[in-house]
Every structure is written in structure tokens, then in C-alpha cells.
Amino acid sequence: MTRVHVLATGGTIASRSGEGSGATAGDSAEVLLEGMDATADVEVTSEDVMTVGSYRLGLPELATIARVSRERAEEPGIDGVVVTHGTDTMEETAFLADLLNGTDTPVVFTGAQRAADHPDTDGPRNLRQAVLAAAHPNARGLGALVAFDGLLLSARGTRKGHTMVSQPFTGGTLVGTTHGDEFRLHARPHRPGTLDLPDSGLDGVRVDLITAYPGADPAALPSAVDRCAHGIVLAGTGLGNAGPGHAEAVADVVARGVPVVLATRTLAGPVLGVYGRGGGADILAAGAVAAGELTPFQARILAAALLAHRPDPHEFAARFTRLR
């Protein structure tokens, strides 16, 4: 019999409304599974990793979830792993889990848009679909995935695109769909490689995210270094542009040994050095590393995972470019 192991971390799927306040996470993995319809020919086991809203997570907690998911994926007898997680930052944790998962065992993230005590909660249905996807032989070798509202998306490139609707995620690769008990594979996601974390995980690693906008002050970049940032992601406009002074600020930060990754705040498309006069061409020439098509949030995760090893600037740039 196929075995799927569920790791519960909290989020809306585990949340219920409190008296006089908003919903908070509290349901255990056991409670989540009690609300899910049984799946034929799949043994489901579970454990609690943490129980928290994903908006409260820091990099060390993301590293814990990703590392435990990889450890379970490596265990003999486990054919698939499911992680229940809040939707707010699922795109970051799922991407880190994908970077760490060098096994053929799929790690499928899911959650809910409506709390466990909502009359139309979507958690049990999403959990069941995630379990079915993780158990399917066609999911092997696909890395970390996001299963939500009948769709199975690659972790890489996926981002939360709506605050309320039943399918909040957009971007990424449409890997598969579920219809009842049927899982249908559509495509295999791009996975350029995996990495590991040091024993300390992401403890003490700080990567700041700075967004470009009309009138933005480029002093935000050196200020981040002054506040002990180990790396910076600059989310530029369009193809990766920013206003006057940003290229000079990037050059200053890079000269101080702090890497800068240039991403785009645009919802889709690559970073390219097309424009001068402080645009992306000048920012890249100043020493920034292009994020490719990674979102700013996932570029930050890759940068943090690399900086945990304290690489020199050339090594950072080479490894980031290879894994982006």
C-alpha cells in the first residue's frame, strides 16, 4: 500500500475563529485528517511540526519545515509527503523545500482559504487532493508542488495572486489536475538543481527586500547593509529598472561585499538589462545578479539559502545564476 506522510504546520486549514478576535491556528494533524474523506489504497500517517499562521514565520521556521519535509522524503516506506501550510507565505516555504529535495519523493503543499470552522471550508478537499497527488507514481521526481482547488502547480514560480478566491495561486507550471480520485499529469517542472543547508539552517541569515517605485530613495540599499543585511533583493520595475541613484547604490553595496539580486515587481517575465540611465542594464553592470524569472520573494529565499554557506561574491553569483 502507498504511504503518504502529512506534516502539519498550521495556517488557515488549521484555524478556527476565536472569541473577540480573528481566526488562529490550533488544529493538529490528527484533527485535520479526521475531517478528510478516506482515500482508497493510501496509508496516511502524520506529525505536527508547528502550528502557526504562515504570516508569522521567519526564515528559521521555513528552514525547519523544508528540512523536515526532506528528511521524511528520504525515509524508506514513505512514498509522498504532504505539508499543510498557510497560503500567505506558502510560495516561499514550498520553493525552499523544492531547493532542498533531492529525492524522487514528491513534497506537496496545500492549505485552505477558509478556516476549519467556516461552513464552506475548503481544507479537507484540498488535503485529500494533495494526498492523492503525492501518492501517484507520476508525481515522483517532481520536487515540491502546490496542490490547491484541483490544480497541482510547481513550487518554482508560484505566487499568491488573490486574497480570497478558492484558487489563490498563479504562475509556476501547471503540473497536473485532480478530478475526484483521478490525478492527471500535464507537465514536468523545471528544476535546475538542489542544495543543502548548514546545520544552523537559516538562523542569523538576513536578506532584505527593497522595492523600486517612483521617487524611491536609493539610500535604502546601503541602509540595509548598515542594519546588518547579508544580502539584498531589489524588486525593480518592468524588466528590472529603478530610479536615479540606484545603480550607484548597488555598486556601493556590492563593493562592501554584500550581494544584490535584481528581480522585478511585475507579476511575470524575466529580468533583462535593456535600459540605461539607471535602468536594469546599469544596475546589472554595477554588480547585481539577475533573478531571471524568479519572483522577488523566491529570489530572496534562494539568496538566503546560498548565503547560509557564507560564499564569496563570485561563488554566490555563479550558484544563484545556476539555480534561479
> Which residue ranges are tagged as binding site for substrate?
54, 87-88
Give catalytic residues, as residue numbers. Answer: 12, 87
What is the DSSP code (8-state) at residue 60?
Answer: H
Report the SS3 class of residue 288.
coil
- Residue 241, beta-bridge partner list: 237
Report the SS3 class of residue 27.
coil
Distance in angstroms (rounded) separating the CA atoms of residues 37 and 322: 42
- Residue 153, beta-bridge partner list: 146, 174
- Residues at the annotated binding site? 54, 87-88
Distance in angstroms (rounded) separating the CA atoms of residues 162 and 253: 34
Reading the block at residue 281, the C-alpha cell is: 542594464
Q: How open is the CA angle 164-168-212, to the nearest 5 degrees?
A: 95
Q: Is 124 exposed, middle or buried (0-12, 13-18, 19+ CB in 10 A)?
A: middle
List b or e across 24-57, with b for residues whose CB sees 16 or more CB atoms inside 10 angstroms: bbebebeebbeebeebeebebebebbbbbbbeeb
Distance in angstroms (rounded) separating the CA atoms of residues 62 and 155: 14
- Identity of the residue numbered 308: A
For β-strands 289-290 and 260-264, DSSP reports them as: parallel
Largest CA distance in the chain: 62
What is the DSSP code (8-state) at residue 37?
Answer: P
Q: How many CB atoms are located within 10 Å of the residue 134 CB? A: 33
